[in-house]
Each structure stands twice: as C-alpha cells, then as structure tokens.
Structure 1
Amino acid sequence: MREAPRLRVAFFRPDDERTEEAVELVESLGADPVPDPMLAVEPTDAAPRSDADYVVLTSKTGAELAAAADWDPDGATVCAIGDATAAALRAEGYAVDHVPAEFSSAGLVDSLGDAVDGARVEVARSDHGSAVLTDGLEAAGAYVHETVLYRLVRPESAGESTELAAAGDLDAALFTSSLTVEHFLAAADERGVRAAAIEGLDAATVGVIGEPTRETARAHGITVDVVPDRADFEALACAVVEDAAPTHHE
C-alpha cells in the first residue's frame, strides 16, 4: 500500500521560540509545518500600574515585558489568563494568585465575580485586547485601567500560507487569535488571492482557539472545523491534525 502524503499545516505564531515549538509539535504529529508568522511584537516600554488591587496579564509576552520594565505588583492580586501566562510570570519571579479554569477573558470575569466590585483593576496587554475583559470587569463593579504593553503588527514577509491556500496546497490552518485571521486575509489581499485563499481554507481543516476567533473567521467567510476544549496551541494542533488526517488521501 502506498503511504499517504503528509498533511501540510500552516500556523501563524510570532517568529520566536513559539514558532520553533510549533514546528517541533506539528512534525511530531506526522505533518509538515508551514510557519507563516502573522504577528510581530512592538514593545511600548510601558509597565503595569503598581497601585491596583488586581492586575491582569493576558499573555506570555505581556508577562515578560512587565518583568523587563521592573514592574512591582506591590501586594496586588496577580491574575493570569492561561497556563502559559502564569508560567511566564512565575519564571520571572512573580507569584500568581489566580488563573481562571477557562482560559479566556470571559472566563476570568466569571471567575472573579463579585470580588472585584469596587476594586481597582489593572489590565496589561497588547493593543488588540478584547473589550470582553474590560467591559466585563466594569460591569462587575471594578474601576478598570488598561496599559498597552505592546503592539501587534503584521510582518512584511507574511503571506506564504495564503498563496498555498489559494493554490489548494494547504491541508490545515491553525488560527490562535482574531488578529491572525485578519492578518492572513490582509496578506491575501496584498497578493490578490483573498477569494481563492478563502476557498482553499474551505477545502482544508481550519482550527481556531476560542469563540471570538471563530466568530471573526465566520464573519469573513471562513468555515471553522475545530475549536478545542482547551485554549492552547498544543490542543489546537492535535485536534486539527486528528480531524484532518482521516480524510487526507490521494
């Protein structure tokens, strides 16, 4: 029996250790990785405020930039969305007081509940953070301040995956945020292949992290096949490859 061709799987993480880890993971799953970084980090050199009752960090990048700015929580309750964020904070020497069971903005708001009523809450994150977090905390009675630690921009080199999708040469795509969806489509626009790329994604297996990313994809005409229960890249990659592999043949 002739061996089936390997799946070609695209992902869009920043061009740092996250891409290296993703390449190793996808290869370990028996697929061919197509790294196409759609996000680059531009630090603002800002630091989270130190006069809050609660401080929320939403990403590994944010945790590392807060540490680089010599941020001092000064007794605040430190909240991290996701295990990766919590691990990054601990690696920098910070104590993490709260990690919601659901790794999302809505999950954090729900888990804090009435505890933040009347409290000062600092949210430190990128310039593309969801309003679900800040609006939810304010609705819970918190006094919310947001600090932008970094901006997320699209690298000029991004776009190889859009051409593969347009040519029907992509078997799966892994979107980790709404912004990766938007940057993928912007790169496709620049190459004049947007419609063909979306058609190519429809023929592939598309996986996303979280409902907000699913809604963004759907709003742009992209059909989403997989949303893993656990909101992390490993769960996403495993679920997508498992979903795609049974139907992949010559």
Structure 2
Amino acid sequence: MTTSQARPLQGRRVLVTRPRAQAPVLATVLAEHGAEPVVLPLIAPTPVTDTSKLDAGIVRLARGGYRWLIFSSANGARFFLTRVQTLGYDERICQQARVVAGAATATTLAQQGVRADVTLTNFRAETVSAQLATASLTDQQVLLPRAAGGRPVLPHTLRQRGAVVDEVVVYRSAPVPESSAPLARWLRSGTLNAITFTSSSTVRHFMAALATEALTDWQQEAVVIACIGATTAATAQEHGLRVDAIPEQTTAAALVQALAAVFARRRSASAAAADGAPPRMLVTQEP
C-alpha cells in the first residue's frame, strides 16, 4: 500500500471550524489520514438563559407526555441532558418517548446512558420525515430540542404528517471573535489546503469573520471545501462558496473520507495531465 493510499491527506493542512469541545474527534480522524489539523473554532455553543419553555418540555416528558423525542444535533442533546440533570431528573426520562437522532448524536446520547430508538444515517431536516415513513405521526406529540435560529423545515414537515410539535430552544451558537484575525492571515498566505464545515452556523460565522477582516481576495479555488451534510453545503453555496465534498453520512469519519476522495481525484487528474503533456525540449546554447 502506498503512502497516498494509507495516509491520503498526507501534508494537507485542514481547518477544523467546529466548537472546541467537538473539534478533537474530527482532528483525530484527519491526523490518522495524514493531515495536519488546524483547529480554529468559529462558534461557541452556549445554553439559553430563558429556560421556561425548555423546562416545561422536560417536565412533560418526565410525565410521559411525548411520543417522540427528536434530537437534531449532538450539541442539542448535550445541553438538553444537562438541563434534565439540573432539574433533578435522571437522563432515562428520555426513554419515556421514542428517541430519534443521527448517528453521531446517537453516540453522544449513548455516552450519557440514553438509547436512540431510531438512528438515522443521514440526519437532514428535509428527509427525517421520509425516513420515519413507516411510523404514524398523526396526533403524535413530538418534543424537538434545537438551536436558536434553526431552520423551520423539520418541524414543518413533521406537522405536515399530522404531528403536534413542541420546539424548545436549548442553546445558541455564539461567534468566537478572536478567530477572525488568524483565519484571515491563513487565507491570505495560502497555507490552508482545505476547510471543513460541520454546521450552517460555522459557515455563517466564517463569512462574518471574513467581513470583519475585510477579506475578499482569498484564493478560494486553491482550497477544498468539505461540508458534513447537504444542509450545511446549501448554506455554504448560498454564501457563494464552492463545495467540493459532501459525505453520504453525517459523521466525522465520512467527512474525512469524502475530503480524501477529492484530493485523490485531483492527484489522478494531475498525473493524467502530466502523462499527456508534450515532451519538454532540451535547448542548448551554441558555443
């Protein structure tokens, strides 16, 4: 096995923009594939200050008032379970409902002793309802913990199926102001080979950081952009970014594999171009 096969990202500097608590997972997988992870969190998830609606949802869950509990992100799961503990409940109250989560979020839940009854390989708002096609949602009570500013697609599609959805905001994604200067410096110098985005929030704060630094002339075509899912990719494209890699599964491992595939294709294209180039002529100077 060649080095490019065993470590397909050898020598590539890859920016990790996800929150500091989650960055090590992606950074580790990148390093295992030979990359040099550059960790620069662009967002910092923070719990909401007004927890009245969240608390009411947790109390109702503990009393068996919900049929479904749907987590759309690992951060949402963490903050929700932290609040459950703060209110004096055991995490196992979640099992009063059928728990639905993506693969990465299901792992986070399992670490806290909560079992996901339905694990979706590709958790995307537009497709969650379809992936629950065999379940009857008519008049079913659904608790949906989520981030502030979350897109309305998921609750809307669930309600179209007849579900009664309670949305509760559990956290907000705050910007990390000190990330703007180093980000602009690296982009100007061309030292980054790839950028990873793991949520729409990371994309929005990336663009905000560029605006703060008045950076409009960075060489985007020289940087591979990888987004963890279609929703994040759509946000990136809406902001004028070219997206090169979108994995089929919304996990760190799948994201790195998709990124490695892009560089592999580029190596193949470069090799093919070199093989097809006309022979170079050796020009000697006459005496």
1:99 pairs with 2:119: yes
Cα distance in 2 between the residues matched to 1:213 and 1:22: 16
Kindly tell me: are residues 140 and 246 of structure 1, through their superposed partners in 2, closer, same or farther at Cα, counting changes over 3 Å? closer
CA contact (8 A) 2:175 2:205 kept: yes
Show the 5 A alignment for 1:5-154. Answer: 6-16=11-21, 18-44=22-48, 46-47=54-55, 48-49=57-58, 50=61, 51-70=65-84, 72-73=93-94, 75-80=96-101, 82-113=102-133, 115-154=136-175
CA apart distance, 1:141:
0.9
Cα distance in 1 between the residues matched to 2:149 and 2:260: 28
Partner of 2:262: 243
CA contact (8 A) 1:167 1:196 kept: no
1:28-55 deviations in whole A, cap 9, x for unaligned? 2112111110110111254443122211
Residue identity in the other structure for 1:190: T
RMSD: 2.3
1:80-135 deviations in whole A, cap 9, x for unaligned? 1x122112222222232112243222332112235111111110011132222111
Partner of 1:177: 199
CA contact (8 A) 2:186 2:192 kept: yes
1:54-94 deviations in whole A, cap 9, x for unaligned? 111122222222222225236211111x1221122222222
CA apart distance, 1:166:
3.1
Max radius of gyration: which structure? 2
Residue identity in the other structure for 1:9: V
The partner residue of 1:216 within 228, 231, 235 is: 235
1:163-206 deviations in whole A, cap 9, x for unaligned? 3223322211111122111110100111111x223xx2222111
Partner of 1:203: 222
Cα distance in 1 between the residues matched to 2:27 and 2:113: 29
The partner residue of 2:209 within 175, 187, 193 is: 187
CA apart distance, 1:224:
0.8
Residue identity in the other structure for 1:155: V
Cα distance in 1 between the residues matched to 2:221 and 2:148: 30
Q: TM-score, normalised by structure 1?
A: 0.87
CA apart distance, 1:246:
5.9
Q: Unaligned stretches of 5+ in structure 1?
A: none
Q: TM-score, normalised by structure 2?
A: 0.77
Residue identity in the other structure for 1:52: Y
Cα distance in 2 between the residues matched to 1:239 and 1:95: 28
Stretch deviating more after TM superposition (155-164 or 181-190): 155-164
Q: Unaligned stretches of 5+ in structure 2?
A: 1-8, 271-287
